[in-house]
A and B are shown apart, each in its own frame.
Chain A
């Protein structure tokens, strides 16, 4: 009885959506990696992370979330130090320094930074007790943002940097930074774009963006990923090729097919119908997040729920739009679908916090 009632609540439904998404994600990862032989271990690892995820979900949904406020700056400091340390001690994997390796598992601090960042910003903005944020508050928030963004860019992990900046923007909007400031900063950012293009981006990042803009110019070069991804998705047609029947993804035509391009693997096998169902699940998750934020009874809870929802939304949108050739290729994982332990944990933590907030809401 209690369980039935739980599933009628928002958090109950959210848990249901989550379990469905995770199951789809695991099946899809299996189809993307089973033929790889030694790499099939990725699937087993992901199962391990999922199990660990459910435990963290349980922890984060049952603790007093206000405790997060108390430790917000501490964990923020820790994550910044980790990101800093990463630049010096992490082994360079194909030119990037993103992981800490501890035996069989490796941790990606930039993924953890996403949730830590949301908690910290939510805490900072809710502490101001202002109806509309001032320029001073905005600039301080900006400093809190720029430090991790800068470190992540140095790794380099452009995807996470973009996500952090967008989260910053989203949370500024939610906490009512005045329109004037937003417009001026937006204008300044646009003005700085050429500068960023010239000095901040690496060659391959520039090439990716060029490849996005002109994919047919160099079909075997940078535009290759997008072209292959579009081919995989398009060839799924209405009903898909069926489970384990994808040819594009399994034959290496699709690069990064179990991380950033995992959606293409799914779309190839399940077609338009499957994609619509998957997108509906994501949409439900996001709308539920919005509903939880709507019901929040504290600015911190509101910003936290809003930030987490924004995190899910932007990751889903940027990732899928990228595979569809609507956005340039940046390394943003698809929540619950892409392979990656740290991202998995962060997503479970995020859902745990949402459920936590929801439970607190209806207990009152």
Chain B
């Protein structure tokens, strides 16, 4: 028995060696693995551990406030409770998603299935937080806060949201902010998907100055996304405040005058090029872009044939009509094609080759010098000048007067179109251009720029919209600069002559703007009536009023010492003297009343 037992034991114990080797092997495997994880890849895991526990939350910086020249607020911020959703914090489990959906659906006022669909969509870009709702009520905030522990992927942010208190006032100039797009996000390394950035106008032009610097909060978080403590915090720096050259009161009045019409009013300070008014109607409410709009509203805005999003003052391209006769007269005088006393007979039509060009007054104006021709806006007189000057000279002078090139205002603008000499034009084109028809196109701002130069003695100023930029502490960061783009190619004598003619337009009984004259101030100006038939805007031509002409007026006042330049354009307004000029007179009177 005993021998048997020992025999059994010694036999069994042989297998113990096997176990021992197995143990050693496995320990070596474990140690090698540990070495691999901790020493070879240690740094990699250390970084990962660090990322696990650190969360950087940015604190939005209040955007700079935009004021008008007298300190009236045009764009500011309002605190807003926003509900943000961080998809990356949501475990990919169906039941959890469902619990989120059922929790959120009453707050979002959507059905659970719709909410579910929305949440699922957001999971496609897991690192991109989205705004679920803005402007939470107190009740909603408390509901959300109370359940925060269970729904850690939801976060309430108190965000300063852009607010335009006067709604559509100067909307085209101010522009708007809206959520950053995916493409912009790629090009801006600092930006986050929940940032608002300027998409148009001043907001876009001064985006970096207005935006300020975001603050950062370094949080220690656990795996459930709950904040344990704040490690570090840097406070946000507000954006710079802007004071525009705009006169909000005048702008509001201009927009009121445009009500019900499609058109533009531009007003500049002739001596500096400061923009006082830049009204374009119809407009839009920029708050819509901040708060987000439903699809229907957006479609309505986008597909509106009147195109309310377009800034007609800087981007709208129009034939200048009779306004351009000033350029033609200027070119002819400077080129010595005519003198101040050269008289041309207007029989009501002008025969050029085998074509007949008609004057707007069928009976004709009779013998006219250049001054009278401007006052009565005689077409035949300027056909003759066009024929004498030729398209190239005319185009050259138009360019020297600032047409066909960007004014440099900074916001969106079109350059307009001046027929160039490289192109082979039919002979009649010079005649068309001489009266502001044909392929020549301008923006209302360019007209204003040109008239400002006439008013101030020949300096073409780049339009200026920034008066000053102040840091949040009130330090002046930047001042508006007067910028001379070029000089009008005109002698003092000829300029005086043209100015006299412009005064005559408004004050001579036979002047085209006589009916719109002011009894309080001497206005100098020029009316214009631009034919629409050659307009490229086909959509508009479907409208019943579409065949009516565009009504123009450009002028300045007081004529002796100009304080304001005004350009009015009413699309399909008919006759410039009847439609556009009275509006300009009202605006000029209002401005001078206010400022004298």
Contact = CB atoms under 8 A, between A and B. Distances in A.
Interface stretch (B6-14, B392-400, B420-428): B6-14
Interface stretch (A70-78, A289-297, A342-350): A289-297
Given A131-B11, A233-B37, A313-B23, A221 B91 contact: yes
Interface string A305-324: 01001100100010011001
B27 A279 contact: yes
A275 B4 CA distance: 44
B592 interface: no
Interface in B21-51: 23-24, 26-27, 29-31, 33-35, 37-39, 41-46, 48-50
B546 to A, nearest CB: 60
A131 B27 CA distance: 31
B53 A175 contact: no
B4 A237 contact: no
Contacts of A247: 49-50, 52-53
Given A231-B48, A279-B31, A170 B42 contact: no
A276 B23 CA distance: 15
Nearest to B12: A176
A253 interface: yes
A230 B38 CA distance: 9
B124 interface: no
A299 B23 contact: no
A203 interface: no
Given A131-B7, A131-B11, A253 B37 contact: no
Interface residues of A, number: 57
B interface SS class? helix
Contacts of B48: 231, 234-235
A138 interface: no
B354 to A, nearest CB: 82
Interface stretch (B216-224, B289-297, B474-482): B216-224
Contacts of A282: 27
B53 A234 contact: no
Contacts of B13: 293-294, 302
B282 to A, nearest CB: 50
B92 interface: yes
A238 interface: yes
B53 A272 contact: no
A292 B490 CA distance: 116
Nearest to A290: B20
Contacts of B23: 283, 286-287, 290, 313
A267 B35 CA distance: 11
A238 B91 contact: no
Interface string A249-272: 001110100000000000110011
Contacts of A232: 49
A176 B15 contact: yes
A309 B26 CA distance: 14
Contacts of A303: 12
Contact of B19 (A170, A253, A268, A272): A170
Interface in A87-136: 129-132
Given A237-B38, A251-B222, A309 B46 contact: no
Contacts of A248: 49, 52-53
Contact of A234 (B20, B26, B44): B44
A210 to B, nearest CB: 15
Contacts of B41: 234
26 contacts: A131-B8, A220-B91, A221-B91, A231-B49, A233-B34, A234-B41, A236-B42, A251-B220, A251-B222, A252-B223, A253-B52, A253-B53, A268-B49, A272-B38, A272-B39, A293-B16, A298-B9, A299-B8, A309-B19, A310-B19, A313-B19, A313-B23, A317-B30, A321-B29, A324-B30, A326-B30
Interface of B: 4-5, 7-9, 11-13, 15-16, 18-20, 23-24, 26-27, 29-31, 33-35, 37-39, 41-46, 48-50, 52-53, 91-93, 220-224, 228
